[in-house]
Amino acid sequence: MASNDTPTNASSSTGGVAGWFIDQVANLGQFAIAWVIGVGDVAVFALQTIGWIFARRQRRDVLLPNFYQIGVMSLPVVALTGLFIGMVLAVQSYAQFKALGLETRLGSVINLSLVRELGPVLAATMLAGRIGSAMAAELGTMRVTEQIDALESMGANPIYYLVVPRFLGCLVLIPSLTVMADFMGVLGGYFYSHVLLGIDYHHYWANSREYVDVFDFLMGIFKSLSFGAAIALVSCHHGFHCEPGAEGVGRAATNAFVHSFVMILVLDLFLGIWLNNVHDFFRPEGPRKLL
């Protein structure tokens, strides 16, 4: 049998703990190689996409439908997400702040959490599910039904036609949608705090203005820009490399969401660290204390 010549089986045949250990190391090595190849593949895909943005101007009739799908169609769900995050933050923080007699500071913690973290991350997560999966499924179906091959056979570049409009749509509109999520969150937090919990609106807004500044807002927008790029590239890459059949398309859509979500979390951590350093560089006195 030819398969007996493989190193894995050869090591297994030695038996015992040593053979098992060698197998695990070999598996780990294979996993690492596959991971490096995968990351390299996405990096090349990203470079090709960025190259095509500058190589040729996009046609309006290709760009606008993508912008409509990504931006306009996502507005309600993003607005709803933002509204509820704001209210939930008020619900969860109120008891703690009231115990300290600092409930008028609720506005600062709700709005700061929203614009720096929860607005961008949860809006991006929602959009990874709504847009990312849809993009992967659509491109996957195009791959399976040979529409991408058809584009290439007609001398057209599929990255220019299919990826660049979606990438630009995510890059421009996910930050815009994050602004909407932030706005609705601020509104939701205020509604719950003032109307339902009876916190004085003057102090609520005064504290918000004191502790939340433009940098916090821009930090969230910068993050959402990165999340948008990551969602577009990861999802389009999964769609482009879709396996045949309905199962392949389904797997591409699922993986697009899962990997986009992981990318959002990883980027959020590293961008958070880096942007805090940037903040400290411009404001050496450090962040203002909430309490």
Partner 1 sequence: MPAAATATSRRTTEPAGPLLRVDALQVRFGSQEVLRDISIDLEAGQTLVVLGESGCGKTVLLKTMIGLIRPTSGDVRFDGTSLASLNDRALAHLRTRYGFVFQGAALFDSFTIFDNIAFPLREHTRIPEAEVRSIVESLVDEVGLPRSVLPKKPVQLSGGMRKRAGLARALSLDPQLMLYDEPTTGLDPIMSDVINELILRVRNRPHVTSVVVTHDMHTARKVADRVIMLYPLFRLRPDEPQIVFDGTADELDRSTDPRIRQFVEGRAGARLMELREEQARANGGTTIDDGPAAIDPPVDDSDYGNEDDA
* Own/partner long-range contacts of 160-165 (Cβ < 8 Å, ≥24 apart): 160/52, 160/55, 160/56, 161/62, 162/236, 163/45, 163/49, 163/52, 163/232, 163/236, 163/240, 164/49, 164/52, 164/53, 164/58, 165/58, 165/62, 165/63, 165/66, 165/67
Residue 59 DSSP code: P
Smallest distance from partner 1 to CB 54, Å: 15
Smaller CB separation from partner 1, 43 or 150: 150
How far is Cα 40 from Cα 223, in angstroms, rounded to an integer? 23
- Cβ atoms within 10 A of the Cβ of 187, count? 15
Smaller CB separation from partner 1, 112 or 139: 139
Of 282, 280, 260, the closest CA to residue 272 belongs to 280
Q: Residues 177, 136, 230, 128: what is their CA dihedral angle, to the nearest 10 degrees?
A: 40
Smallest distance from partner 1 to CB 91, Å: 43
Smaller CB separation from partner 1, 178 or 235: 235
Smallest distance from partner 1 to CB 166, Å: 13
User: Interface mask (CB under 8 A) for partner 1, residues 156-185, using x and -?
Assistant: xx----------------------------
Smaller CB separation from partner 1, 153 or 277: 153
Out of 65, 76, 244, 245, the residue judged to bind partner 1 by CB under 8 A: 65
Smaller CB separation from partner 1, 99 or 154: 154
Smaller CB separation from partner 1, 30 or 145: 145
How far is Cα 11 from Cα 112, in angstroms, rounded to an integer? 57
Smallest distance from partner 1 to CB 273, Å: 39
CA–CA distance from 30 to each of 24, 33, 43 (Å)?
10, 5, 20
Cβ–Cβ under 8 Å, residues 165 and 219: no
How far is Cα 58 from Cα 164, in angstroms, rounded to an integer? 8
Site for partner 1 in 13-42 (CB under 8 A): none
Site for partner 1 in 249-288 (CB under 8 A): none
Q: What contacts 291, CB < 8 A, 6 or more positions away?
A: 100, 102, 105
Burial of residue 208 (number of CB atoms within 10 Å: 0-12, 13-18, 19+): buried
User: Is residue 8 close enough to count as binding partner 1 by CB under 8 A?
Assistant: no
Site for partner 1 in 132-161 (CB under 8 A): 141-142, 145-147, 149-150, 152-157
Total interface residues for partner 1 by CB under 8 A: 14
Smaller CB separation from partner 1, 154 or 291: 154
Smallest distance from partner 1 to CB 157, Å: 7
Smallest distance from partner 1 to CB 147, Å: 5
Smaller CB separation from partner 1, 139 or 171: 139
Site for partner 1 in 43-62 (CB under 8 A): none
Point out which residues bind partner 1 (CB under 8 A): 65, 141-142, 145-147, 149-150, 152-157
